[in-house]
Structure 1
Amino acid sequence: MSERVVAQGTFDILHPGHLHYLREAASMGERLYVIVARRENVTHKPKPVVPDEQRREMVGALDPVDEARLGHPEDIFVPIEEIEPDVIALGYDQHHDADGIRAALADRGIDCEVRTASPREESEDELLSTGRIIDTVLRERGD
């Protein structure tokens, strides 16, 4: 079994989909390190509403997580180089190109496997996306 696994994400408003991803990532190795994206680095969706350090603290408090840290302000691969993971676990719906990540890792001499976690089966009464949670709050409690 692999020893160190890295998972990463924004983790703006925690929901069961995040927990599923982190539990599955943790099952891929012995220690799970989570890199929480800094607000200024989130460009593929709306910026997080929860502050960086608060998101890091909340993720770090989850049972599957051994260590949570904020991403590097300029280079997303710096924490990966520091952790030296055996596996990078991508969320099933993350915007990353797995082949592009493999190529970037190879260019930097980082030898690790890239895997994609499975989706959580969504029940009718669950909200498994931060965007859907925000939309629901605005619809039900907005002015």
Structure 2
Amino acid sequence: MIKVLVFGTFDGLHEGHKDFFRQAKEYGDHLVVVVGRDSTIVKTKGRPPKFNENERLKAVQDCGLADEVRLGNEGNNPYKVIEQVKPKIICLGYDQTHFTEKLATRVKELGLHIDIMRLKPFHPEKYKSSLLNIPD
């Protein structure tokens, strides 16, 4: 089984997010979506999400594109979920920046062999969260 991992806030799930899931799923046969914790979003974005972590988790589950949906880790190790899931591939959104700058280095430090792919945008002029007045 080839596990593909994606992570994000998904605060106000829209077609851009769904396309992101569809693209990621093409790289393997088991898509794991990690939904960021409220506390992590406050730390990284300086504001709380519009929808709480359980609402965002349910929205991703309900869209039916992921094989597994889970909340991210609390605390100071945002990469812990990678150790737990052990994906073959991590897919990043075209504009995803949080936790990505050290991702390849951290994966190597963990002794894991994971391909990191940057996915294509899906009509970013229309479906970018900031344009939809949805916190990304």
The question of a shared fold, defined as TM-score above 0.5 by the shorter chain, is answered with: yes
Matches within 5 A, 1:57-76: 57-74=58-75, 75-76=77-78
Q: Which residue is 1:21 aligned to?
A: 20
Aligned pairs for 1:53-132 within 5 A: 53-74=54-75, 75-96=77-98, 98=100, 100-122=102-124, 126=126, 128-132=127-131
| C-alpha distance in structure 2 between counterparts of 1:48 and 1:99, whole Å | 22
**Residue 39 (str. 1) matches residue 41 (str. 2):** no
1:98 and 1:114 in contact (8 A); partners too: no
> What is the letter of the counterpart of residue 74 of structure 2?
P
RMSD: 1.9
Structure 1: 5+ residue runs without aligned partners?
Answer: 136-143
**In 2: Cα distance, 1:88 partner to 1:121 partner:** 22
Deviates more, 1:86-95 or 1:103-112: 103-112
Where in structure 2 are there 5+ consecutive unaligned residues?
A: none
Change beyond 3 A, Cα 1:28–1:57: same
Question: CA 1:65–1:87 in 2, change beyond 3 Å: closer, same or farther?
Answer: same
Runs (4 or more) in structure 1 with deviation over 3 Å come to 96-99
Distance 1:112 1:54 in 2: 30
Tell me which moved more, 40-49 or 51-60: 40-49
Deviations 1:106-133 (Å, cap 9, x if unpaired)? Answer: 111122111011011357xx4x133322
- Tell me how far apart the structure 2 counterparts of residues 56 and 5 of structure 1 sit (CA, whole Å): 18
Q: Is the contact made by 1:34 and 1:67 (CA closer than 8 Å) also made in structure 2?
A: yes
The answer to whether the 8 Å contact 2:78/2:99 transfers is no
Stretch moving more, 57-66 or 3-12: 57-66
